[in-house]
Chains A and B, each alone.
Chain A
Amino acid sequence: MSAPAMTEADAAIPSLKAFLAAQEKKSLLRFLTCGSVDDGKSTLIGRLLYDSKLLFDDHLAALKRDSKQHGTTGGDIDFALLVDGLEAEREQGITIDVAYRFFATDKRKFIVADTPGHEQYTRNMATGASNSELAVVLVDARKGVLTQTRRHTYIASLLGIRHVVMVVNKMDLAGFSQEVFDRISTEFSEFASHLGFQSRVAIPISARFGDNVITRSDNTPWYHGPTLLGFLETVDVETSLADTPLRLPVQWVNRPNLDFRGYAGTIVGGRVRPGDRVAVAKSGRTTTVERLVTMDGDLEEATAGDAVTMTLRDEIDISRGDVLCAADSRPDVSDQFAAHLLWMAEEELLPGRQYILKLSTSTVPAQVTALKHKVDVNTLEQLAAKTLHLNEIGMVNVSLAQPLAFDSYRENRDMGGFVLIDRFTNATVGAGMIEFGLRRATNVHWQALDVNKDARAALKHQKPVVLWFTGLSGSGKSTIANLVERTLHAEGRHTYMLDGDNVRHGLNRDLGFTDADRVENIRRVAETARLFVDAGLIVLVSFISPFRSERRMARELMGEGEFIEVFVDTPLEVCVARDPKGLYAKARAGAIRNFTGIDSPYEPPENAELVVRTEDADPARNATAILSYLKANGYIV
């Protein structure tokens, strides 16, 4: 009874082929064990391996040796040591990272992910859950349902696990009491019933002594349900992905020669045959499937899970990251979506910061634009939050640098699950599950978020910026600014020039030349420049702007890197000698009051991005220097 694989194998050797054929037909169940620390997850897996006679003699010998050295069971075999494979784990008697173990019975093959119970290693639990179909949640009979029990159960449901087995472990330490078991199952049910599981069962066990793990226990006559293994062998977890719409994310374009162009990828939904109409999700182009090429010959049909190379009837532009889909049932295509996000890094989530998002075979820059709420894992309450810390879960809006094809995570894990990666450390910092796409029509915030400065600038293929020309009257500011604008315009850039002529005559005609009016003059010009920057323009401001504090005020109105101070550094004598408008002469004669350089001070910039000298260079060379600066710093490409 306890050695199904062995007994069957012995009998089957004479008809090995038939036996192997039967092996081939076995279904595979991937499950994880989770729950709080010390609830006995590793011990349970060790017990399953031991009782199903899947331990080799040398492993067993090592286990007995290790148990004496590190064991927590007083010299008896400590099954946890079978799975806690890292030195640090065995020394500390805890599980740090997920371990994968493999076993089989005559009914099924199993891959079990043993996940850590400590809160700080929750991300490793999520790793194990992301590829599992069922969760075994352990609860210590003496401790009952803990925060970590709830957290893991919630994360399991969030990651799309639809079947949960709650085992009340260490029943031997609770006198195999039915009352204890009932109380814990009721408490668990109250929490888990809101989480959308398709099946939920509770089983009283003792992993250490084997009660109800593989064999039914005499210690629990009041329990009439299945044993744990009995349940795992028979539970139906099928989700027929093959019956969902076709999704083939392209991984690699296969071009061995000019006559062959195939699209290699794994079908993550649906089925496909040659002759089917398919569409490229992002471009919307449609074509017909020509062949499904494999090394073993062409396929007549491929279904979800198959890794294929597909050729198409028409030559259309397709590359890695494109999704080939059923022409009549396409995924969402958007650059915005709402998602649940599990934060997995010590450094907190920064809304607005740019991360790298990887979804299926696509990698794009992305930012969290709104954190709508975080979830209290104990009560499932939604709490207001400004950030997510390690292991916290929130509901967020994500904005992408370019649109992607996706489905909701509920419909398709591969098409709706994504990770966020830190741009500098390359660490995987977040795991997200898409709830739904956001569109203009369905989301009020969308417009505000989407058609923003970046969007407008992107359309113009430039980075918006203010070129703030400061310098004495007659220093050559306007001449140079004009040349710069003319060149930019000729290159197809979108610009606007603000100078005394078009501002003093309209917007600022109520202002004079007192110090107070000069400040207000600059304030209005700066605010106007800011609006133009928001519109995505390259703005050229040509104003004497003699005071440092006002120039600083203007600088601070703009975003980082959006203000370039250009000091047109022409000595007063030269300006006076040029005197293009005869203003210095009038000022000297007393006809103009408060004239900068004569009876009003000019405070030269201390940290201007650019300083141009006009005495021994002609304005065209000054303009070229400024344009080079713009190119070198990525304002224009």
Chain B
Amino acid sequence: MKQGISHLRRLEAESMYVMREVASSFANPVMLYSIGKDSSVMLHLALKAFYPSKPPFPLMHVDTTWKFRDMIAFRDETAARLGLKLLVHVNEDGVKRGINPFDSGSALHTQVMKTESLKQALDKYGFDAAFGGARRDEEKSRAKERIFSFRSATHAWDPKNQRPELWRAYNTRINKGESIRVFPLSNWTELDVWQYIMAENIPIVPLYFAKKRPIVERDGTLIMVDDDRMKLKNGEKVEERLVRFRTLGCYPLTGAIESEADTIEAIVAEMFTARTSERQGRLIDSDEKASMEKKKKEGYF
């Protein structure tokens, strides 16, 4: 808009609108908090949308037990600092079965400890709406998703039969057992997220900033040795390397990039020269063709 509001303010306002619609239309919403930069932005927007009240829904983290230790510390510190209710769900059955990313493979680990675990948690608390921080610029099947994305009672997504979504007239109606996944950051790009973090001074996990970290190079990916559960293979050795992460997940499945960017400004500058997408560091996306769509149909966020 010519004399109107800036690009970021427009995105901010759109996201706040979405969050307020959810608070008004659902009985039992929850915010899926994955601790990453997008979750940090999403949480910040929720604080703004409901100020001076606190967001009228809890945060929930689906913990695979393989997250970086820094992430868990940041999660607990954030919830305490803001005085928000935080639910943490672990698929105990998966833990008992000994599912882990090294031996089980990334596909099974993700299926059991993330997708199944998420469904368990949603069923356990009976949430009828769940916010996720996904953006349409991340991945091809995400680009197709609605802001209010309907899920059947079995949490399935039917991409070929999505509800038309016109204007801001979001259809929030569901029958018992069904739910809506809500993506308030749909129209944000990775660059928007970083610019906003910079403009608003939003706290993020230190892993995003470059630092010397213990790294093993495995299959061309730089894996950080975050704890002693990581066993070295023949010929592998741990090196201190100056790295940072563009995206955060389970540490054995998240590739680091070599970088000297240790401030937000430097990260944004680096973004302009980046030649790979942020999801490239995610080993789980490249398991099989159309793998994100497949996971989403099964209930993954």
Contacts and interface: CB of A to CB of B under 8 A. Distances in A.
Contact of B7 (A5, A24, A306): A24
Contacts of B3: 240, 242
Contacts of B265: 16-17
Contact of A358 (B142, B159, B169, B187): B169
Instruction: Say whether chain A's binding surface is mostly helix, strand, loop, or mixed.
Output: mixed
Contacts of A20: 195, 198, 268
Contacts of A306: 5, 9, 13
B15 to A, nearest CB: 8
A87 B169 contact: no
Contacts of A83: 140, 143
Contacts of B6: 24-25
B47 interface: yes
A295 B21 CA distance: 19
A426 B173 contact: yes
Contact of B167 (A85, A109, A265, A414): A414
Contacts of A56: 274-277, 280
B168 to A, nearest CB: 6
Interface residues of A, number: 83
Contacts of B241: none
B234 interface: no
B144 interface: yes
Contact of A255 (B47, B53, B165, B169): B53
Given A86-B144, A256-B53, A418 B169 contact: yes
Given A83-B143, A86-B159, A242-B3, A100 B8 contact: no
A57 B169 contact: no
Interface stretch (A123-131, A535-543, A544-552): A123-131
Nearest to B174: A426
Contact of A126 (B47, B166, B170): B166
B195 A100 contact: no
Interface string A103-131: 00000010100000000000110110011
B59 interface: no
A458 to B, nearest CB: 24
A361 B25 CA distance: 10
A59 B24 CA distance: 39
A428 interface: yes
A458 B195 CA distance: 55
Contacts, number: 207
Nearest to B297: A87
B13 to A, nearest CB: 4
A389 B168 CA distance: 24
Nearest to B175: A426
Contacts of B13: 266, 305-307
A266 B24 CA distance: 14
B128 interface: no
A99 B141 CA distance: 8
A320 B221 CA distance: 51
Interface residues of B, number: 69
Contacts of B140: 82-86, 99
A139 B47 CA distance: 47
Interface string B137-168: 10111111000000000000001101111111
B30 interface: no
Given A242-B4, A295-B47, A304-B4, A264 B20 contact: yes
Given A23-B195, A28-B10, A123 B268 contact: no
Interface in B198-254: 198
A295 B8 contact: no
A421 B173 contact: yes
A238 B5 CA distance: 12
A356 interface: yes
A62 to B, nearest CB: 9
A65 to B, nearest CB: 9
A85 B53 contact: no
A97 interface: yes
B118 interface: no
Interface stretch (A6-14, A224-232, A477-485): A6-14
Given A6-B272, A20-B268, A320-B24, A251 B280 contact: no
A419 interface: yes
B125 interface: no
A131 to B, nearest CB: 7
Contact of A251 (B17, B167, B195): B17
Interface string A31-73: 0000000000000000000000000111100000000000000
A264 B47 CA distance: 13
A308 to B, nearest CB: 9
B189 interface: yes
A428 B163 contact: yes
A270 B165 CA distance: 25
B1 A264 contact: no
Contact of A123 (B164, B170, B195, B272): B164
A293 B51 contact: yes
B110 interface: no
B91 interface: no
Given A83-B143, A87-B293, A293-B52, A428 B164 contact: yes
Q: Identify which of B144, B167, B277 gathers the most chain A CB atoms within 10 Å of its CB.
A: B167
Nearest to B294: A87
Q: Identify which of B12, B50, B139 gathers the most chain A CB atoms within 10 Å of its CB.
A: B50
B89 interface: no
B6 to A, nearest CB: 5
A255 B50 CA distance: 10
B272 A13 contact: yes
B129 interface: no
Given A56-B280, A426-B171, A251 B144 contact: no
A294 interface: yes
B276 A57 contact: yes
A341 interface: no
A75 to B, nearest CB: 18
Nearest to A320: B24
A238 B1 CA distance: 6
B166 to A, nearest CB: 4
Contact of A97 (B162, B170, B277, B279): B162
A86 B49 contact: no
Q: Identify which of A10, A13, A265 gathers the most chain B CB atoms within 10 Å of its CB.
A: A13
Contacts of B73: none
Interface string A301-324: 001111101000000000010000
A85 B293 contact: yes
A305 B20 contact: no
A427 interface: yes
Nearest to A66: B289
Interface string A131-145: 100000000000000
B2 interface: yes
Contacts of A307: 12-13, 16-17, 20, 48-49
B269 interface: yes
A304 B4 CA distance: 7
B9 A295 contact: no
B50 to A, nearest CB: 7
Nearest to A56: B277
Given A86-B140, A260-B52, A431-B164, 14 more contacts: A13-B269, A26-B7, A86-B160, A102-B189, A126-B164, A251-B21, A252-B24, A264-B20, A295-B47, A305-B9, A306-B9, A361-B24, A418-B169, A427-B163
Interface of A: 5-6, 9-10, 12-13, 16-17, 20, 23-28, 56-59, 82-88, 90, 96-102, 109, 111, 123-124, 126-127, 130-131, 238, 240-242, 251-252, 254-256, 260, 262, 264-266, 293-296, 303-307, 309, 320, 344, 356, 358-361, 413-414, 417-419, 421, 426-428, 431
Q: When A and B form their complex, which 3 residue pairs have the shortest distance between CB atoms, in order from nearest?
A: A85-B140, A9-B272, A130-B166
9 contacts: A58-B277, A85-B141, A238-B2, A251-B20, A252-B24, A293-B52, A305-B4, A305-B10, A419-B171
